[in-house]
Structure 1
Amino acid sequence: MLLAFAAGSSLYGQYSVTGTVTDSEGAPLIGVSVLVKGSPMGASTDLDGNFSLELTDASTLEFSYIGYATQDVEVSSDNNSLQIVMLEDVNKLDEVVITGLASSIKRSNLANSVASIGAQELAGITTQSTMDGALYGKLKGAEIRSNSGAPGGGMSVKLRGVTSIFGDQQPLYIVDGIFVDNSTISLGTNIVSAAAGGGNTSTNQDDASNRISDLVTEDIENIEVLKGASAAAIYGSRAAGGVVIITTKRGKSGEPRVQFNQTFGLTSPIKLLGQRVSTVDEVRTIFGEDAAAEAAINGVNDYEAALYDNSGLLSTSQLSYSGGNDQTTFYISGLYKDEEGIVENTGYKKASVRANIDHKFNDWFDISFSSNYITSTADRGFFNNGNTNTTIGYALAFTSPWENLFADENGNFPAGAAGSNVLETVNKITNRENVNRFLNSIRANIRLFSNDRNNLRLALTAGRDEYTLQTIGLFPQELSFFRDPSSLGGVSINGNTINEVYNLNAFLIHSFYTDNDITFRTQLGLTTESFDQNTVITTATDLNGAQTNVDQAANVGVFQNRREQRDKGFFIQEEVNFQDKIIGTIGLRGDKSSNNGDADKLYYYPKASVAVNLHEMMDFNGFLNTTKVRVAYGESGRFANFNDRFNAMNGTIIGSNAGLVTSTVRGNSEVGPERQKELELGFDMTFLDNRAILEFTHYRKSVTDVLLRAQVPTSTGFTTQVVNGAELANSGFEVSLGLSPVQGKVQWDTQLNWWKNTSEVTRLDVPAFNLGGFAASLGQYRIEEGKSATQIVGTVKADDVAELDPDGDGFAVYGNAEADFNLGWVNSIKVGNWDMGFVFHWKKGGDGVNLSTLLWDLAGMTWDYDDTTLDPSGTLGNGDYRTSEWFAGNAGPWIEDASYIRLREVGVYYTITREKLSNACDLRIGVSGRNLINIFDYNSYDPEVSNFGGNVLANSIEVTPFPSSKRMNFHVTATF
């Protein structure tokens, strides 16, 4: 009876609403969402932009489409035939932002500052070598820096300051629901360079790439960056470094679309340092008659230019095919990239195949597949620190330009006077990464129940990231630095890593709509993640002649590192939306992990936020179009490091037998995750008829239970133990101003992003200590209560102790790695069929430790060694002065201001429409560049590199890196 009555009443007064949705030029828009506000009812437009709905009462329809401004239209039985024209959403206020594991929200209703980058911003201006290159200068609140100029990428990302001391500070990356691994895995070359001392196999000084560089920028549709705990709390103990959510391109209903992109380009060094002498007379004056006599025979050679002043060819080809119908859509793409480095025998090759398929079985069940195979080869050269004078940049610093290092007619190289011939090293060594990677996910949406008031759906996600990494290092026996009988006598390195990541997520999402336009959305979810990594590096020394197999050597060593981690969690979240005027959210995440001291203990992370759209509640007399104030609080965490809770065993030789000894670090069964708490306040407003948008955010973040190593009594048999024993604080500001100052036939959109962060160690349960770098005499970070976590200190010469070291602890503060501020300026200009874009990035302040110049100074070969120009303070700052200061005990001369201004990207394109090409295709041609303008006083190749990879508390320290490069590209895109 009740069902019959309900069915009968729903037919009373029923009427149809039909319509067509087009863009501003009259082209139909396919797949536009048409929702009845205040209910779960809706539809989407078909191939011709048409839609229809059956309604019973006067209602408000909401039309939304990616890249276009959302429109609300009143309908009734008297107004039921619609022609909707959608306009581009310049300010992206109606853009849907993915913020949770199974949730999204309109940007205008967000209570957090979430940075978004679309496909056009990622790859629309210039072709990127790797994904990391597409992010520079575009994300406020993010410090993104390249670790090296070596082909194949490698970057570190720090979101809103320092969040750990010894833990990984990189964000969590999620691609189409897959938890993606971003490890940096040692190449094993430390056995030759001894950069970390003792010839150990595993070190972070190998200049290895990190695995996020595998992703294909051209396949990405959108990137959302959740920068702080208030936004990322729903991800719990994986989110202390923030969360980067990547959505790849998917097909759309309509005619099949084929697109071919081809890019050719050249790369060249940003900067060369130069040399102290360039003529025989200069050699005689400075280095004497013996050196001049040798220079008269061999010439004065510019070996830096011979190594680095080269052009590399670049090529990227991509073909994509997409389309579909109302039930099934698809996106299929293939890419091949081949890039030469500026150093001989270096380069990067990558091939990728992707298939994204979406299928709607019926009104209550749909499914999405994503599959990506990537294979790449990176030849990275041999750079960074090298205590054996073998790495290329290190040996170059001690190479005299009057030496003869060139090969003879038989291809044999002479030995270098410093024991290393850099031209021979470049010519003969191999240092390679081979990657084979599979990324797969499946997502299912099941609508369990729906009526006028309720909507209940089940969302399931399974993700898999699996890759193998093979590293190959070949250092043949004939190299100069192996000619000494006491040397390693040729080295072969073979590394193999198998990495597997699985994640399974299940979510129930219930929406409840009331009569007074209040929407309640409840989410319940369960998650489980599995991480397994097994690395085996085999090193062979004293090779048999020209043999390269690891079994053809007098000495063979094996290093193995295994990591296994199992995480489980749940979350619950409630969102209340009152007429898009007030939007409140509360939530709770619970996590447990095998890394914690108690693997079965749940740790809880709450969140709460409120956004108030004031413009929906009051009239601002036309000046302000929209105004939103927002406040958000959240907590997230970082699991303890693998093995922190165990007493590790180290291999050793006992007598003549293999044995084990206990590590000097005691495990801690009570160790727990680091916890981050963040309060974020802000406002967003648009004005000038929505042609301007201003966003302001202030955050205060504390990190408690920071992991440290504390000393323990030696009577225990150990020296240190991992404890939760410190607290950090970060505070910062983020401001964004977007403008459309010119509209019409000429369209100019511009955006300024400004941000800054300050950090402090607010509690330290152990004595202050140095970390990062090599020694205080060379500049290190210092962790000290009440001081910045990124301060750089060093030793003090005796004459300056009273002024620079009043505390008498032996250290002076010479700088701070944290920037004073960053400013990014992103622009897009369209004039008819022409379009142009450019990105400037200004980093003001932030210091770096320039140990490359230290080495050149010690060798007496620095380009400015004899320069008598005084700096603005009246101080002589040439190489001779720096060296004398260092020998006197002053670590300051090589701690430099690392500010810069860069033209990150610039591109100019022209589109020839298919009407002018006999309807064959649309053709877009253009030229672009990257890093074409670089302004900095930093006395090395680039202020943006790191000898220690992604280590945030060491990444401003450089030692003879692979020089950074700039690029020029020519592009052709045909769309059929």
Structure 2
Amino acid sequence: MKKTTQWGKTGVLLLLFLIPTILLSQETITGKVVIEGSGEPAAFMNIVEEGTNNGTSSDIDGSFSITVNSLPVRLKVFALGFAEKVIPVSLAGDITIQVSESSEALDEVVVTGLATSVKRENLANAVSTVSAEELAELTPPQTLDGALAGKFVGAQITRSSGAPGGGISVRLRGVTSVNGNSQPLYIVDGVYVNNNSISGAGLNAVSGAAAGGNASNQDNPSNRIADINPDDIESVEILKGASAAAIYGARAAAGVIIIKTKTGKQGRTKISFNQDVGFNTILNSRGQRTYTEDRVFDFFFNPNPGDPIAEQRSRDAANDQVALFRAARDSGRLIDYEDEIFGEEGFISNTNVSISGGSENTQYYAAFSNNAEDGIVKNTGYTRKSIRFNLNHTFFKDKIRLSLNTNYVDSKADRGFFNNDNSGTTIGVSLTSTLPYRDLFPNELGVYPDNPDAASNPLQTRDLITNREDVDRFIIGGNLDIKLFENDKSNLKLILSGGVDYYQLTTNALFPKILQFQKVTNGGLNGLVAVGDTENKDANYSGFLVHNYKTDSDINFTTQAGATKLTFERNTVNTVASDLIAFEDNLDQAANVGVNQFRQEQEDVGFFVQEEVNYQGKIIGTLGIRGDKSSNNGDANEFFYYPKASLAVNLQNFGLWESENLNQLKIRGAYGEAGNFAPNGALFTTYTNSLIDGVAGIVVPPTLGDPNIEPERQKELELGLDASFLKRRVNLEFTYYIKSVDDLILQANVEPSSGFTTEFANAGDLENKGVEVTLNANVFQGEDFEWNTGVLFFKNKSEVTQLDVAPFNLGSFGTGLGTFRIEEGKSVTQIVGNNADGDLVVLGDAEPDFQMTFTNNFRYKDFTLSFLWHWKEGGDNINLTNLLTDFGGTSPDFDDIDLDPAGVTPNGPFRVGAFSSGNATPFTEDASYLRLREIGLYYTLPTKFLDSAFKGNVSRVKIGFSGNNLINIFDYNSYDPEVSNFGSGGLSTGVEVTPFPSSKRVLFHLAVDF
């Protein structure tokens, strides 16, 4: 005992002696990290002593300082977007480290599990990534989903409306559902974000659009992902197929888009200010018919030899129209009403201010943005105010890391009154028959004349109606990362996360009683006001354990297991009031009031287990399974399981060759499954109310629900090859996939004696096959000049592989105009219709033959030029705008003769005749296009000038110009091939009925960093 004590004292004395020696032996390395070629500071680079946890990061000027125990050491330098570099250091003092930007970002970290990630170099799935620079810095987009167009392979992105405020369909790797959800799942900083398109404006009460051939929503609401400010985003990952999206289970059949917002970096406080101003104009005008006196006469004259009196009356009426035309023409009063409606130059202003920074333990990012954009139609526009605060904090010696992400959004959209209607009242439909010699402007008292050519005066409708969406939204997420155990070979972490997405959507529509079509004398409703209120709350919670283990033979095992819980609540109340008293617009100041309410609650519970094995970076394999149960299933306690498996082999790491020309060759394969819940109304039969002779009751609907219905299941096999050449200056990704969707939820016919006409059932399968190719090249990199280029190519083909019900039509207005048809052995997106002989034939296909984008980025000294061309080849639309203008005699090509095979009948009468005979052939058109989707030219003021002028207080000043859709080449006979009368959801995109036209945008930019 005494001996032990003596040795203890000796040890203490020895330790006291050695501590000063150890401290004195520590060395400090200082220096600067700069970008190779340009010499510009590389801010926020990670500098770590290799083999240890000792590290730091460069500040805004690229400077750093790190203390090590002894020299020599090896410093590892890395950051997202830069090639990793290891520098040997033998002497203390100042050093300069040059880093090169990575064209392919092979060191980029990509999500592979709910709580894990992997370097792209080891990735076995084709996961696309869009950086902050690609997303918003080239050309600031109006909405997030619009910014994704042309940026990654495998997506068909269609703008359903040109109205400001969004309305975009994103379809990943083809159609994944006929009746269910077809839009991807969006995850923002771990929060499941709602992207519903909720129609609450009550426009159908005026337009009657759903009273015709299709009962689908045609009110053209915006979709809620438009609320997310693109300038807040750091990166976007797109999990296109089930092999990658299986980790999200029952909600991932349409793919997953994972969004990470910006965070602060260790270093001094950075303040950034960005201001954009510009304007938008119509992308493409249809133009006017060239009128002559004879053409006016012929349009109004109706020959009737059997009734000379009626024929003379018609002749007199036609001559009266000719006289009106002659007077307007001779006095220069012919009016281009298309230009009058769509000829505005909408003012655009985007202001973004952010502040970020932090210490070693705490980093923060705060931002405010104010985006405002007027539409190309008066009284339309979109505004969005966003406040964001993100915080990261580590404590207990880096054992616990807390991340908080908060966002408040206030957005407003004035959408106008467009698209299909059965009352002739929308601005677009009334415009189709309005002749240029009518004077529809208000008089000096502000009174608008009635339009003799249509049910409404489009100028009066534009100026006096209201159709507004107002959103207040909170998105809050948190993540707690706790290191439970750690040694040289293994560590164990507990990850707890949760989030809430809450918003209130208020819609307001007002149609004053003085409108032409609201007057009682014209059969109107004597004024209408509609108010919709939606309260939506989505919440998600999860807990995961992640264990990492590394063997002596350099095999890494990553095991994760955990559980999730998701809740979804929505309550929508729509109130429509008509026959307004005087000029009141309150709901209670009306003689007729109707109320509809929709409520939905859902709770999902699931678990996820995954094992990743990495053998020396040579072979990387993953196995996992997700299990989900939901209150939306017939049996709320039944689990549905979604497995995944993947394998990647990095052949270059086997030492099979030594070459500077071939730097990476990876083969990969993956399989996965994901689900899609049954649509609302499929599980249970929802009764509707009735009122007969003052007695209230319920009415059985025509469609029967099925309480035993199962979710749709997507299964996908994906094979790929990745290669890098010429010191990784050229990078290639190739992917082939086969994706099937089983247990399609369809509506089957039933015996009428059952009391129903159709019932929901799992009654079919479909399949998508496709190819995706990505090629990036750093063509030239020098001190003064750089050139990077990239090409994306992708195509998809679909087929209904099994159909247990009779073939059926859906998604448009019947076979006389062209419609979609679900039929075994045929494309899911085929368009069919009757031909001239009355036979049902295939008229086209909405699926493009292929899509291709071509990106170039040039830098010459302090100037940068970037642009993106987007080529969509094939894919057809059902264009019914032309038919409506034919009825009104206003089609720009009315008098051309290029549709009639006999070369006799002009286009206008030919299309009208085809409609009268039930021939849909002329209404399906090729929707191909070549588009300069984005272009930007910028100049960054030299650092030396800024240091001299601002004494080091300003680190960057950037000015520039950018544009969207400035060049558009297509033969499509209307405003824009990107269009959809039925909004952003469902199968039936690409149907056009007098839409709000798309626009092109020009912006000027100023960015200042302090």
After TM superposition, the score normalised by the length of structure 1 is 0.94
Deviation at 1:88, TM superposition (A): 1.2
* 1:220-279 deviation per Cα after TM superposition (whole angstroms, max 9, x unaligned): 110000000011111101100000000011111111111111111011001111122345
Who is 1:581 aligned against? 618
Specify the alignment match of 2:778 in structure 1: 740
For 1:733 and 1:117, locate their aligned partners in 2 and report how far apart those are by CA, in whole Å.
20
Structure 1 residue 290: deviation in Å? 1.7
Instruction: Report the alpha carbon displacement of residue 916 of structure 1 after superposing the two structures with TM.
Output: 1.4
What are the Cα deviations for residues 854-897 of structure 1, in whole angstroms up to 9, with x where unaligned? Answer: 11112222111111357999897722222222322210101000
* Further displaced range: 702-711 or 907-916: 907-916
Bigger mean CA offset, 274-283 vs 825-834:
274-283
Asked whether the 8 Å contact 1:629–1:684 carries over to 2, the reply is yes
Within-5 A mapping of 1:529-540: 529-540=566-577
Query: Which of 344, 350, 365 is matched with 1:310 structurally?
Result: 344
3-state SS in 1 of match to 2:914: helix
Q: Give the equivalent residue in structure 2 for 1:855.
A: 884
Q: CA deviation at 1:203?
A: 5.0
Q: Deviation at 1:711? A: 2.2
The 8 Å contact of residues 383 and 391 in structure 1, kept in 2 or not, is answered as: yes
Of the three residues 394, 397, 413, the one matched with 2:429 is 394
User: CA 1:666–1:570 in structure 2 vs 1: closer, same or farther (change >3 Å)?
Assistant: same
Supply the distance in 2 between the matched residues of 1:905 and 1:913 (Cα, whole angstroms).
Answer: 26
Give the 3 Å change call, closer, same or farther, for CA 42–585 of structure 1 in structure 2: farther
Q: Which amino acid aligns with 2:604?
A: D
Q: Aligned match of 2:896 in 832, 851, 867? A: 867
User: Structure 1 pair 72/425, CA: closer, same or farther in 2 (3 Å)?
Assistant: same
- Equivalence for 1:336: 370
Question: Equivalent residue of 2:259, what SS?
Answer: strand
Structure 1 alignment gaps of length 5 or more: 806-810
1:161–1:875: structure 2 CA closer, same or farther, 3 Å change rule? Answer: farther
> Which whole-Å CA distance do the structure 2 matches of 1:935 and 1:135 have between them?
20
Q: Which residue of 1 aligns with 2:527?
A: 490
Are residue 515 (structure 1) and residue 556 (structure 2) matched? no
Spell out the pairing of 1:215-230 with structure 2 (5 A cutoff). 215-230=228-243
For residues 596 and 83 of structure 1, the distance between their equivalents in structure 2, rounded to whole angstroms, comes to 61
Matched, 1:786 2:815: no
The aligned residue for residue 306 of structure 2 is none
Match of 1:626 among 660, 664, 667: 664
- Residues 1:249 and 2:249 aligned together: no
Aligned to 2:587: 550
Q: 1:107 to 1:295 in 2, by over 3 A?
A: same
Match of 1:570 in 2: 607
Matched, 1:374 2:409: yes
Distance in 2 (alpha carbons) for counterparts of 1:178 and 1:706: 28
Q: Which residue of 1 aligns with 2:842?
A: 813
SS state at 2:768 partner: strand
Q: Report which stretch shifted further, 171-180 or 853-862.
A: 853-862
Deviating more after overlay: 917-926 vs 159-168: 917-926
Kindly indicate whether residue 784 of structure 2 is the aligned counterpart of residue 771 of structure 1.
no
3-state DSSP of counterpart to 1:232: helix
Matches within 5 A, 1:434-473: 434-473=470-509
Displacement after TM superposition at 1:64 (Å) = 2.8
Query: What is the CA–CA distance in structure 2 between the aligned matches of 1:259 and 1:461, rounded to whole Å?
Result: 30
Equivalent residue, structure 2, for 1:481: 517
Aligned residue among 32, 51, 65 for 1:50: 65
Residues 561 and 544 of structure 1, relative CA distance in 2, 3 Å threshold: same
CA shift, 1:395, in A, is 0.9
* Residue 797 in structure 1 maps to residue 857 in structure 2: no
Q: Helix, strand or coil for the counterpart of 2:540?
A: strand
CA distance in 1, matches of 2:731, 2:50: 28
State the partner residue of 2:420. Answer: 385
Q: Structure 2 length normalisation: TM-score?
A: 0.91
Q: Distance in 2 between matches of 1:51 and 1:813?
A: 70
Query: Secondary structure, in 3 states, of the residue corresponding to 2:84?
Result: strand
Question: What secondary structure does 2:431 align onto?
Answer: helix
Partner residue of 1:680 out of 704, 718, 732: 718
Partner of 1:239: 252
- Does the CA-based 8 Å contact 1:250-1:331 persist in structure 2? yes
Look up the SS of the partner of 1:122 in the other structure. helix
Q: CA deviation at 1:293?
A: 1.2
Alpha carbons 1:636, 1:676 under 8 Å: kept: yes
Q: Distance in 2 between matches of 1:619 and 1:405?
A: 78
CA-to-aligned-CA distance 1:161-220 (integer Å, 9 cap, x gap): 1111100110000001110000000122110000001899x9520011000011101111
Deviation string, structure 1 residues 743-762 (Cα, Å, up to 9, x no partner): 10211111100000000000
Please show how residues 921-960 of structure 1 align to structure 2 within 5 Å.
921=954, 922-960=956-994
The answer to which of 693-702 and 129-138 deviates more is 129-138
Distance in 2 of aligned mates of 1:876 and 1:125: 48
Q: Percent identity?
A: 48
Are the structure 2 counterparts of residues 714 and 790 from structure 1 closer, same or farther at C-alpha, using a change threshold of 3 Å? same
Output aligned runs, 1:319-334, within 5 Å: 319-334=353-368
Shift of 1:664: 2.7
Q: Give the AA of the match of 1:615.
A: Q
CA contact (8 A) 2:28 2:92 kept: no
Deviation at 1:31, TM superposition (A): 5.3
Q: Is residue 29–residue 94 contact of structure 2 (8 Å, CA) maintained in 1? A: yes
Q: Report the CA distance shift for 1:914/1:741 in structure 2 as closer, same or farther (over 3 A).
A: closer
2:34 is aligned with 1:23: yes
More moved, 236-245 vs 821-830? 821-830
The one-letter code sitting in structure 2 at the alignment partner of 1:708 is L
CA drift of 1:783 comes to 0.2
Q: Classify the secondary structure of the residue corresponding to 2:884.
A: helix
Tell me: CA distance 1:33–1:946, structure 2 relative to 1, closer, same or farther (3 Å): farther
Aligned 8 A contact 1:925 1:971 in 2: yes
Kindly tell me: are residues 19 and 103 of structure 1, through their superposed partners in 2, closer, same or farther at Cα, counting changes over 3 Å? farther
Structure 2 distance, partners of 1:875, 1:646, is 56
For the residues of structure 2 that align with 1:703 and 1:244, how far apart are their CA atoms? 20
User: Does 81-90 or 484-493 show the bigger shift?
Assistant: 81-90
Supply the AA of the counterpart residue of 1:401. Answer: P
| TM-aligned CA deviation for residue 648 of structure 1 | 1.1
CA distance in 1, matches of 2:834, 2:213: 27
The letter for the 1-side match of 2:57 is T
State the match for 1:65 in structure 2.
79
How far the C-alpha of 1:622 sits from its partner, in A, is 2.8
Match of 2:203 in 1: 189
Q: 1:91 Cα shift?
A: 1.4
Distance in 1 between residues matched to 2:94 and 2:959, nearest whole Å:
42
Which letter maps to 2:203?
T
Letter in 2 for 1:962: F
Alignment deviations for residues 824-882 of structure 1 (CA, whole Å, 9 cap, x no partner): 11221111110111111000000000011111112222111111357999897722222
Structure 2 residue 141 is the aligned partner of structure 1 residue 128: yes
What is aligned with 2:940?
A: 911
Contact 1:149-1:963 within 8 A present in 2 as well: yes
Letter in 2 for 1:955: T
CA apart distance, 1:689: 2.1
Assess if the C-alpha contact under 8 Å between 1:462 and 1:503 holds in 2: yes
C-alpha distance in structure 2 between counterparts of 1:350 and 1:552, whole Å: 32
Q: Deviations over 1:84-125 (max 9, x none)?
A: 533211211111122332221111111011111111101111
Going from structure 1 to structure 2, the CA distance change for 1:26 and 1:437 (only over 3 Å counts) comes to: closer
Distance 2:191 2:928 in 1: 36
Unaligned runs of 5+ in 2: 13-17, 301-317
* 1:893 matches 2:893: no
Q: Secondary structure, in 3 states, of the residue corresponding to 1:857?
A: helix
Question: Does the C-alpha gap of structure 1 residues 429 and 972 become closer, same or farther in structure 2, counting only changes over 3 Å?
Answer: same
Matched with 1:596 is: 633
Q: 2:685 aligns to what?
A: 647
Aligned to 1:808: none
> What CA distance in whole angstroms lies between the structure 2 residues aligned with 1:539 and 1:64?
59
1:896-919, Cα deviation, whole Å (9 max, x unpaired): 000000000111011113531423
2:326 paired residue number: 296
| Alignment RMSD | 2.7
Q: Give the deviation of 1:657 after TM superposition.
A: 2.7
